[in-house]
Chains A and B, each alone.
Chain A
């Protein structure tokens, strides 16, 4: 393996690439090299310009300046098709598959062959051969909608390999995967590099970059801060510093807080998901005053349904929810708000805010009918404006004016709008679902501090997250949910046990099945 890599054969050379978008320079004179048979990580915060750079390479964007050469030959890609003809394929964060068609049909989509008759059995065979070669286990005949997210990603990779790509760009490939699927993806990537493929791995997760890459290039605000470092020569702290331009504390400072009475008490809760299938099955949890309780689990195991049921957005078909000994089971959302229940929703744009309304109109969403903002039937614009200005200053929301539509805000600022609104209502119980997802390191720190401040002001916080690291550093204890059932509760941060519970082993059975 090492012998192959030391040949240093350059597959891709990008020189002083500059790409502008209205108002921002996404890439400024960026250089990037990719060697044959390596995994080259492209690391940076959100908005650092990683995806932009690779979209230029994949022919989706045209750079204003700079040159690209592939296998030593200068290229100027006008479209993804031209890029793939030169052997460069990109797997995007959001898959581009037709759910109702089979794997083979998806792979053949847009190709010249077969010309008229589909001849599916023959092509199924070919797809299976390519899949076999790289250890990508997927049934060519299966319909895409039947596949798990991990399998769909394999189809996307297969699509590129079938088109003869020898450079594969993976844009944040682990964002959608469960931990076991991530391991499998890493195995696939390794088997591909062994067979001479080169891989660009875009990520903002340090531990993944450390685990999979041979070299790493770090981008910060559109510029290179370090180029082509050998991963084995650097530490996580080095990379973090290069990424954000300052030291990042990984340990969150947590003060001692005296835990009080039980605030949230959920007993035997059952609820259906949107498709009418039972997705919460006898969930019993509690959260006490001054406590952050984590809920770990792979996405889609009932976390969203639980959060919605707790605030009254989803009907509980069985069981009870009490907050400070008030029964709020299946009570209107507004009543919950009055009882001091607050939710930081997972989807900031689709649930948490109204995109075309102003910052002011968004922060008064939960107290527009309370004095002093409500004045009889009227909304007192003056009071609302004063309130919004106060929050803007207190939470450092960066926005031209409070009359700006929130759709123009960045993810971090949008989350600040939501947090400002929710925290200023002085909640007794707060559910935070994935509060730091998609935010950059600086913003994540800010959000985590705000959550801890809630704990200090003796609120009860339920933190639902897929980031184990975040759960471990913020939570006082952690519940693990799997297929709508609580597998157990951990208060010593035992990652191994959490991992096993996340894949469906109840706490009491761990260790009983012998060592494996």
Chain B
């Protein structure tokens, strides 16, 4: 009764549009998914701008500064790519696992084990000091992938055999991985008591663009390394596997409905283990390429949370391996921006906001929003 009288006394003017939310009864258009990803980034940047403004900064100046110092010249673009390389590989690692709804939160740990495996090649040593560069490239990549895969295999096996929740096991194994590396950094491979191994000899380093400066001076000082080739080749292979191959079909079928997959005679257990191995190998390769291409020694703090950022990248790319490359470059730029912007928390804030808006954007993927003119009655 009460609200009727309120309605009557309200002014005649009414909001002239009606917003209706309906479940989609058809497939969402193809363009929607990338548009939503871009919108998530845009809104995150907008909120970031508001925060910068509240903190007393000039958002426009801050953003143009970030753009300039992460994408503005060949030199900084190269630095952005250096940050993007490990992100691409862990982003791919997460993408394949997430396609099967296997929540591998352990890319960080697999990354550390990959770094350990690659270091082993130099420090154990697996290859003699003066072995040719191409041998170091192949063997360290192989060792990195093997140890990453091992770190993926364990939770995969536990899930397949004993139905252990992979979110918990992969997350916990991250801590083991970090402490495992610490043991070698502080003890076995410690260089005269410092918490790091000795610097690797130069022929074990991954080749960098600047190595080409003698012939083409243009590349002088550019630090982008051979890991970029690993990442792009991995993205292309993974894209082919997921969208064209029989195995990719099995992964998608299991991801969408495991019971239907079982009914079609596809072994879920086998695929859980396989996917975790491949996912771990990709993250391990990220660790190996970071150690051999950037750090050149085994030490702590080799990752500003690459493994976790890979989760956001995988979602931003909608689990599409080729889109992972682009998303990683964006996040590479954001990580680099952390150096340039004070307070440095802003880029992290933006990363977090992107994730939140990505999750929220799913609503628009499932529902259709209609705005219609209100019909006067």
User: Do A and B make up one complex?
Assistant: yes
Query: Which residues of A are in contact with B by a Cβ distance under 8 Å?
Result: 22-23, 311-313, 332-337, 343, 345, 350-357, 361, 364-366, 368-369, 374, 377-379, 381, 400, 403-405, 408
Chain A nearest CB from B228 CB (Å) reads 27
Q: In the bound complex, do residue A366 and residue B264 qualify as a contact, i.e. CB atoms below 8 Å apart?
A: yes
Please tell me if B362 contacts chain A, counting CB pairs below 8 Å.
no
Which residues of A have CB within 8 Å of B262?
A: 313, 333
Which residues of B have CB within 8 Å of A345?
A: 263
Do A379 and B26 contact each other (CB < 8 Å), given the known contacts A333-B265, A365-B264? no
Q: In the bound complex, do residue A377 and residue B247 qualify as a contact, i.e. CB atoms below 8 Å apart?
A: yes
Given contacts A351-B263, A357-B256, A378-B246, could you give 16 more A-B pairs where the C-beta distance is less than 8 Å?
A: A22-B22, A22-B23, A23-B25, A336-B265, A353-B257, A354-B252, A354-B253, A354-B260, A356-B256, A357-B253, A366-B264, A377-B246, A378-B245, A400-B26, A404-B27, A408-B25
Closest to A337 in B: B265
Q: In the bound complex, do residue B27 and residue A333 qualify as a contact, i.e. CB atoms below 8 Å apart?
A: no
Closest to A343 in B: B263
CA distance in complex: A403, B260 (Å):
18
Q: Which of A352, A366, A379 contacts B244 (CB 8 A)?
A: A379
Sorted nearest first, the 6 A-B pairs with minimum C-beta distance are: A334-B265, A333-B265, A354-B256, A354-B257, A365-B264, A22-B22
Q: In the bound complex, do residue A408 and residue B26 qualify as a contact, i.e. CB atoms below 8 Å apart?
A: yes
Contact with A along B19-38 (1 / 0, CB 8 A): 00011011100000000000
Which residues of A have CB within 8 Å of B27?
A: 403-405, 408
Please tell me if B249 contacts chain A, counting CB pairs below 8 Å.
yes
Do A22 and B25 contact each other (CB < 8 Å), given the known contacts A354-B257, A374-B246, A379-B245? yes
Q: In the bound complex, do residue B260 and residue A352 qualify as a contact, i.e. CB atoms below 8 Å apart?
A: yes
Please tell me if B133 contacts chain A, counting CB pairs below 8 Å.
no
Q: In the bound complex, do residue B22 and residue A351 qualify as a contact, i.e. CB atoms below 8 Å apart?
A: no
Which residues of B have CB within 8 Å of A23?
A: 25
Chain B nearest CB from A62 CB (Å) reads 13
9 A-B residue pairings within 8 Å (CB atoms): A350-B260, A351-B260, A351-B263, A355-B257, A366-B265, A378-B246, A379-B249, A400-B26, A404-B26
Which residues of A have CB within 8 Å of B257?
A: 350, 353-355
Please tell me if B374 contacts chain A, counting CB pairs below 8 Å.
no
CA distance in complex: A345, B244 (Å):
28
Do A368 and B259 contact each other (CB < 8 Å), given the known contacts A361-B252, A405-B27? no
CA distance in complex: A381, B245 (Å):
10
Chain B nearest CB from A92 CB (Å) reads 20
Which residues of B have CB within 8 Å of A335?
A: 265
Do A378 and B263 contact each other (CB < 8 Å), given the known contacts A405-B27, A408-B26? no
CA distance in complex: A335, B264 (Å):
11
Do A361 and B246 contact each other (CB < 8 Å), given the known contacts A351-B259, A351-B263, A408-B27? no
Q: Which of B248, B252, B266 contacts A357 (CB 8 A)?
A: B252
Do A352 and B263 contact each other (CB < 8 Å), given the known contacts A368-B246, A378-B245, A404-B26? yes
Which residues of B have CB within 8 Å of A404?
A: 26-27
CA distance in complex: A355, B252 (Å):
11
CA distance in complex: A100, B257 (Å):
29
CA distance in complex: A403, B262 (Å):
23
The binding surface of chain A is classed by DSSP as: loop
Which residues of B have CB within 8 Å of A361?
A: 249, 252-253
Name the residue among A311, A336, A356, A403 with the largest chain B CB count within 10 angstroms: A356
Chain A nearest CB from B314 CB (Å) reads 18
Chain A nearest CB from B27 CB (Å) reads 6
Closest to B260 in A: A354
CA distance in complex: A377, B245 (Å):
6
Closest to B267 in A: A332
Which residues of A have CB within 8 Å of B248?
A: 379
Which residues of B have CB within 8 Å of A369?
A: 246
CA distance in complex: A400, B25 (Å):
11
CA distance in complex: A415, B246 (Å):
25
Chain A nearest CB from B250 CB (Å) reads 8
Contact with A along B262-274 (1 / 0, CB 8 A): 1111110000000
Q: In the bound complex, do residue A350 and residue B265 qualify as a contact, i.e. CB atoms below 8 Å apart?
A: no
CA distance in complex: A147, B27 (Å):
42
Chain A nearest CB from B245 CB (Å) reads 5
CA distance in complex: A374, B249 (Å):
11
Chain B nearest CB from A61 CB (Å) reads 14
Which residues of A have CB within 8 Å of B260?
A: 350-354, 365
Chain A nearest CB from B3 CB (Å) reads 11
Chain A nearest CB from B7 CB (Å) reads 14
CA distance in complex: A350, B258 (Å):
9
Which residues of A have CB within 8 Å of B23?
A: 22
CA distance in complex: A516, B197 (Å):
91
Which residues of B have CB within 8 Å of A353?
A: 257, 260
Do A313 and B244 contact each other (CB < 8 Å), given the known contacts A22-B23, A357-B256, A361-B249? no
Chain A nearest CB from B326 CB (Å) reads 24
Chain B nearest CB from A120 CB (Å) reads 36
Do A378 and B244 contact each other (CB < 8 Å), given the known contacts A354-B253, A357-B252, A361-B249? yes
Which residues of A have CB within 8 Å of B252?
A: 354, 357, 361
Chain B nearest CB from A154 CB (Å) reads 32
CA distance in complex: A355, B260 (Å):
10
CA distance in complex: A405, B249 (Å):
15
Which residues of B have CB within 8 Å of A357?
A: 252-253, 256
Which residues of B have CB within 8 Å of A366?
A: 264-265
Q: Which of A313, A368, A377, A403 contacts B263 (CB 8 A)?
A: A313
Q: In the bound complex, do residue A368 and residue B26 qualify as a contact, i.e. CB atoms below 8 Å apart?
A: no
Q: In the bound complex, do residue B253 and residue A365 qualify as a contact, i.e. CB atoms below 8 Å apart?
A: yes
Q: In the bound complex, do residue A355 and residue B264 qualify as a contact, i.e. CB atoms below 8 Å apart?
A: no
In chain B, positions 260-297 with a C-beta closer than 8 Å to chain A are 260-267
Name the residue among B23, B27, B244, B267 with the largest chain A CB count within 10 angstroms: B27
Chain A nearest CB from B120 CB (Å) reads 32
CA distance in complex: A368, B247 (Å):
10
Contact with A along B181-225 (1 / 0, CB 8 A): 000000000000000000000000000000000000000000000
Which residues of B have CB within 8 Å of A405?
A: 27
Chain A nearest CB from B376 CB (Å) reads 16
CA distance in complex: A403, B244 (Å):
15
CA distance in complex: A48, B176 (Å):
60
CA distance in complex: A156, B23 (Å):
30
CA distance in complex: A389, B263 (Å):
23
CA distance in complex: A334, B248 (Å):
18
CA distance in complex: A102, B126 (Å):
68
Chain A nearest CB from B241 CB (Å) reads 9
